Amino acid sequence: MIRTIRPGRVEGTIRAPGSKSYTHRALAIAAIGNRTLRLRHALDSEDTRTTLEGVRRLGARVDRSAEAWTVRPRRHGLSRTTTISCRQSGTSLRLLTGLAALEDVPVRFVGEGRLPVRPMEPLFGALEQLGARVHRPRSGRSLPFTIQGPIEPGAVRVSAEDSSQPISSLLIALSAFDRPSTIRLVGPVVSAPYIGATVVFLRVLGHRVDVSPRQFAVLGRLRPPPRSIEIPADASSAAYLWAAAAITGGGVSVTGLDPRYPQADLRILEALDRMGARVRRRGATVRVQGPLRRGVRFDLTDSPDLFPLLGVLAAHAPTGSSTLSGAPHLRHKESDRWAETIDLAQAFGARTRSASGHLTIRPPRQTTSIHRSSATDHRLVMSAAVGALAAPGPSRIGDARSVAKSYPGFWDDLARLLPRAAGAP
């Protein structure tokens, strides 16, 4: 479905949907817990439903209602082989692989799109160190594979150079044991705030996790978990709304951003501030007021999902070029986001140069409207929509339905902030 985006200024206050990252983690942790957990403001998206269905396949019970999702942990291990489809969700794949390694029967994983080429070897190797057996595909791809446990607590070394998700998977899986384990990081680490999010949520749910330089100690349950938790609003979703305010000279306030919970994509606020927008924080509400004034040099090692959005912002900065770095692993996401960001910035009229892990974007004197009917990556589609709000005329973007992967209400929320902004299918 193609969406027509008309230029305009966004204004208003909105609560972003529940965090995708925390919904994934809450489902996984609760599935192997010892108490029913009620999740309020859980994100209902294609990716989180994939994790929900996965934990069900592993024996947990999850009931969904408009008020909350209720997770009843598995009572017994699996009695027979099962297959889990992770569709196109990398987070689901890695978190569920760790949970499956707790089982003493084989669990087979399959996926769609680019998921079979996403890196899995660091997680496979770590789980094998703990006693799991992994039957890899002969093709050299990551999927399909079969894993059989059970793993045992202990010491493990693992790389987080391509993704932080293997660390989160191990932290959650090892929290199922009362005996201690240690996870030692090898090499550079990308997306470190996502590991911090996992640690925070494990602690909220009663687990003891000690953090030292390049090492995590999972030390068993400290106290009974709460019966109910509230998933914080999603900074990743809010980033598009704040960027829309900055790029159009408008103002958007997002509520529900509990400051107790780290979120990698809150770094968009640092980037917007350095680009000249005004950023105001008050409790759980953050307001961004445009306009953009200048380009920015920004390292995205900790927040790679912001790369397409910052590429669009850089293409619309009124003065100065921008240089983005720290995200070479983006080529292994739902699309080759490095190449797609270059194409998108150029579509808006910017000049680009990619060399040595750095992307330089020089904005045009006047941005152009775009026609991107072939776009299918949800983050590229939402980024393109934000840029189209500041174009000189209507733009056409597809596949509009792709936003259901992470932010199903994106078009509706954009329409609330500016009735004409979301356009018409």
Q: Let me know if 234 is a catalytic residue.
A: no
8 A C-beta contact, residue 29 and residue 175 = yes
Token readout for 78 is: 């699996």
Strands 61-64 and 68-72: antiparallel
Token readout for 319 is: 């003065």
Q: Pick the catalytic residue: 162, 234, 305, 377?
A: 305
DSSP state of 408: T
Phi-psi region of 283 (alpha: psi -120 to 50; beta: other; left: phi over 0): left
Instruction: Using alpha carbons, list the distances in angstroms from residue 83 to 111, 132, 423.
Output: 11, 17, 40
Q: How many Å apart are CA 370 and CA 367, to the nearest integer?
A: 9
Q: How many Å apart are CA 23 and CA 25, to the nearest integer?
A: 5
8 A C-beta contact, residue 323 and residue 358 = yes
8 A C-beta contact, residue 314 and residue 324 = yes
Hey, which bits of 312-410 come out as E strands?
A: 322-325, 351-355, 358-362, 371-372, 395-397
Q: What is the 3-state secondary structure (H, E, C) of 385-405?
A: HHHHCCCCCCEEECCHHHHHH
Q: How many Å apart are CA 49 and CA 184, to the nearest integer?
A: 31
Token readout for 156 is: 């493990």
Q: How far apart are the first and last CA of the chain?
A: 7
Token readout for 53 is: 């269905």
Token readout for 197 is: 């999010």
Instruction: Using alpha carbons, list the distances in angstroms from residue 122 to 182, 202, 390, 412.
Output: 16, 22, 42, 39
Which residues form the catalytic set?
A: 305
